[in-house]
Amino acid sequence: MRQQLSDTATEMFMERGFDAVRVSEVAEACGVSEKTVFNYFPTKESLVLDRLDATMASMRTGLAEPGVPPVEAALRILDRELGGMTSWLAAQDDPVQATAMIQRFGALIRATPSLRAHQSDMMDQFIAVAAAILAGRPAMSADDPEPQIAATALLGLWRIQFQGLRKYLDGTRTPAQVHQAVTADVHRAARLIDTGLSSFAAFTPGTDGQQDTQATADAAEPLLPGPMHFRDHRRHPEPGPRHRDRGADLQPDPRMTTGERTRWCIISALASAIT
């Protein structure tokens, strides 16, 4: 019944517009009362964005799994969700028409302020849940800045996946090619945030990001290949013209703590971007 209500509502909304369809009309089309609809869906918006509830459940389970780094847990969830969509596309008799349907669904959300607001509210809930789970790893508060920024960065991977689907679902690629292209974009974004999240995993509350030993810093190995490595020229000056390739050979001092290393990476990257 839940699936029928969501499918019927989505079809009616795409045909007539979200605001032009009343919940009572969806109920009537499914042969149930309006109260029954709200028993399954608390709001009209959740009739359309019902899959976000499944994402929330997966995130609660995945991020809390012992021994699994946050980025890896997020990538597993994203790959399952993407695989579900591309497998559905591949099973359709007319993949081009199915792709057009997904594009219309995305257009409906972008054109409807209340749906965008609901999506934004759900993302805030995702961040709150992720921050609470991540804070439990190094035993800090979910309101601390470290778990908050870590959760925000992690949930940004979902935005990259949504944007990738919008970009690559153009009707010219096979479902397998769409899956490959979107996954590549998500992994590029994941590589960028992986170093910071690995440092967060080794963070000790109350030390301002400082670790007692280099062994602790070395324990936070990045999950994905190709992280940024910078060498601090303030500690290791080298001869050469000032106009040489800025930032190209920056590397952190081996004696730097994880917190120092992460901050230097961020500062160096920003300096390279603006000079």
**81 touches 56 (CB < 8 A):** no
Task: With cut-offs at 50, 70 and 90, classify the pLDDT of residue 239.
Answer: very low
Residue spans in the chain of domains classed CATH 1.10.357.10 = 50-201
Q: What is the pLDDT of residue 217?
A: 41
More confident residue, 233 or 123: 123
CATH architecture of 50-201: Orthogonal Bundle (1.10)
The arithmetic mean of pLDDT across residues 97-109, rounded, is: 89
Whether pLDDT at 163 is above 90: yes
Q: What does the DSSP 8-state code read for residue 204? A: -
C-alpha closest to that of 109 among 57, 165, 37, 184: 165
Q: What does the DSSP 8-state code read for residue 43? A: S
**254 touches 214 (CB < 8 A):** yes
Q: Give tens-digit pLDDT for 35-54.
A: 999 999 999 999 988 888 88
Q: How far is CA 48 from the centre of its chain?
A: 20
The arithmetic mean of pLDDT across residues 50-62, rounded, is: 87
Task: With cut-offs at 50, 70 and 90, classify the pLDDT of residue 78.
Answer: very high
Q: Give tens-digit pLDDT for 122-147.
A: 889 999 999 998 887 656 788 888 88
Residue spans in the chain of domains classed CATH 1.10.10.60 = 1-48
The arithmetic mean of pLDDT across residues 87-106, rounded, is: 88
- 3-state SS class at 275: coil
Q: Give tens-digit pLDDT for 243-261.
A: 444 444 445 555 656 555 5
Q: What is the pLDDT of residue 33?
A: 94
Please give the Cα distance from 184 to 190 (Å, whole number). Answer: 10
Domain 1-48, CATH class in plain words: mainly alpha
- How large a percentage of the chain has pLDDT more than 70? 70
Q: Give tens-digit pLDDT for 180-208.
A: 999 999 999 999 888 777 766 655 555 44
User: Which of 90-99, 132-141, 174-183 has the highest average model confidence (pLDDT)?
Assistant: 174-183
Q: Is the pTM of this model over 0.75?
A: no
Whether pLDDT at 23 is above 90: yes
The arithmetic mean of pLDDT across residues 54-59, rounded, is: 88
